[in-house]
Amino acid sequence: MKILVINAGSSSLKYQLMDPDSGEVFAKGQCERIGLDGKLTHRVPGKDNYAEEIAMPTHSEAIEAVLKILVDPQLGVISSTDEIDAVGHRVLHGGMEFTESCIIDDACIAAIERCIPLGPLHNPANLMGIRACQNVMPDKPQVAVFDTAFHMTMPPKAYMYALPYEYYEKDSVRRYGFHGTSHRYVTARAIEMMGKDPKELKIINCHLGNGSSLSAVVDGKCQDTSMGLSPLAGVPMGTRSGDIDPCVVQYLCNRYELSVDEMLNILNKKSGMAGMSGVSSDFRDLEEAAAAGNERAALALDKFAYEVRKYIGAYAAALGGLDVLVFTAGVGENSGQMRERICNGLEFLGVKLCPYRNKKRGEEAVISTDDSKVTVLLIPTNEELMIAKDTQALVQG
């Protein structure tokens, strides 16, 4: 089977054409500046990258450009779009409507629309990608895969906020969590790597990238996660604050005559590693600056490691123990330095990182010592493969 995986943003659209069984990626790329001028970047493994400026007034023209390049005699990888069996879409917020992936029909689209108030930035963009594919490929089956779905197994004590109950009942205000497709993928890989009954495994997943979240998992099912109603909650991130006292919002809004939206923009785009360090949101830049003596960069890295470590401690307590600690995503997969900072101080839980194994980057590996009570795993995430597999499973019924 060949599945086209689409991740549509408001002005961008990423794609991968892949085989869900082998995981082989035939081609991938992205359309940028949709609605402005339009640029397509296309990569085929083993060939030179290709970039072209193409007018893309809407997502439909972007999808048309993707299909055109996929069948191009020189740059393409298929002879006709008939070779694409189905399309899988990443959708940010499934609210309480979706506990798993679903075939896209009118009812599914209506439910994604009902979730727009919960995901006001992403869901409309995801819908634009879905509608563009429906326009351009009306006969292809399509599937929606939700960032929130994996976390829907959380018990009420984990997902409820201690607010007046009617906000949950009437307005669906609760913890949802994000990066679910990544947490689901690494959970499945961790269970396979451990070769044990999932019921026996208490797992904490650390998805540490530009956006970061942790999840606590037993029997392959999510019990708690660090992001909340929105992806702003949890540990500090590249540009997001993570958890803060809500009164900070009121205090700063009053002091600087900011609207709540302006303050939220600061919390989302100007805080986190970038805000604390004044250097960058990028962990490579921060590690370099800290090594060169920049104290605020060092502080930001210290704060990040401290908050991640605190969540690991909290989740070990929530699960009543810990068997497996997983690191994934850009920082988790690549920064041995950050993994070491985080694990430093977790010896009391039975975490013993092996300094030699921890030098590994971007490949599946056990990075704890043989006598570590907790197995620490490095697992590169693959959300696209998960989307392709869900799409295949649903399309094949």
Applying CB under 6 A, the residues found at the interface with ligand ADP are 209-211, 238, 282-284, 287, 329-331, 334-335
Q: State the nearest-atom distance from the C-beta of 393 to ligand ADP, in Å.
A: 24
Burial of 59 (0-12, 13-18, 19+ CB in 10 A): buried
Query: Is the Cβ of residue 30 or residue 372 nearer to ligand ADP in the bound state?
Result: 30
d(CA 392, CA 372): 38
The Cβ-side half-sphere exposure at 175, using a 13 Å CA radius, reads 26
Tokens (6 digits) for 66: 């993707």
The residue whose two tokens read 């307590």 is 317
Contact 94, 122 (CB under 8 A): no
Beta pairing partners, 351: 374
CB of 383 to ligand ADP, least distance (A): 9
Structure tokens at 304: 């990040």
Is 389 in a helix, a strand, or coil? helix
Shortest Å, Cβ 7 to ligand ADP: 10
Sort strands 375-378 and 212-218 into parallel, antiparallel or unpaired. Answer: unpaired
Q: Which is nearer to ligand ADP, 60 or 230 (CB)?
A: 230
Rounded Cα distance between 215 and 119, Å, is: 20
Q: How far is the CB of 358 from ligand ADP (least distance, A)?
A: 13
Q: Which is nearer to ligand ADP, 6 or 329 (CB)?
A: 329
Task: Provide, rounded to whole angstroms, the least separation between the CB of residue 52 and ligand ADP.
Answer: 24
CA distance 150 to 144: 13
| 64 versus 282: smaller Cβ distance to ligand ADP | 282
- The residue (of 300 and 329) whose beta carbon lies closer to ligand ADP is 329
Other Cβ atoms within 10 Å of 334 Cβ, number: 20
Specify whether the CB–CB gap between 113 and 127 falls below 8 A. yes
What are the φ and ψ backbone dihedral angles of 74, each rounded to 5 degrees? Answer: -90, -50
Indicate which residue of 147, 224, 323, 390 is catalytic: 147
Contacts of 372 (CB under 8 A, 6+ apart): 350, 351, 352, 353, 354
| Residue nearest ligand ADP (C-beta atom) | 330
Of residues 20 and 209, the one with the C-beta less far from ligand ADP: 209
Rounded (10°) angle between helices 59-70 and 123-136 = 50
Cα 245 to the chain's mean position, in Å? 25
Q: Would residue 147 show up in a list of annotated catalytic residues for this protein?
A: yes
By C-beta, is 84 or 208 nearer to ligand ADP? 208
**How many other β-carbons are positioned within 10 Å of the β-carbon of residue 7?**
22
Q: Minimum CB separation from ligand ADP for residue 211, in Å?
A: 4
Least spacing, CB of residue 210 vs ligand ADP, in Å: 3
How far is residue 17 from each of residues 28, 67, 200, 330, measured CA to CA in Å?
6, 10, 36, 22
Give me the least distance between CB of 78 and ligand ADP, in Å please. Answer: 27
Of the two residues 18 and 395, which places its CB atom closer to ligand ADP in the complex? 18
Whether the CA torsion 391, 132, 62, 83 is positive or negative: it is: positive
DSSP letter, residue 39: E
Show which residues are catalytic.
147
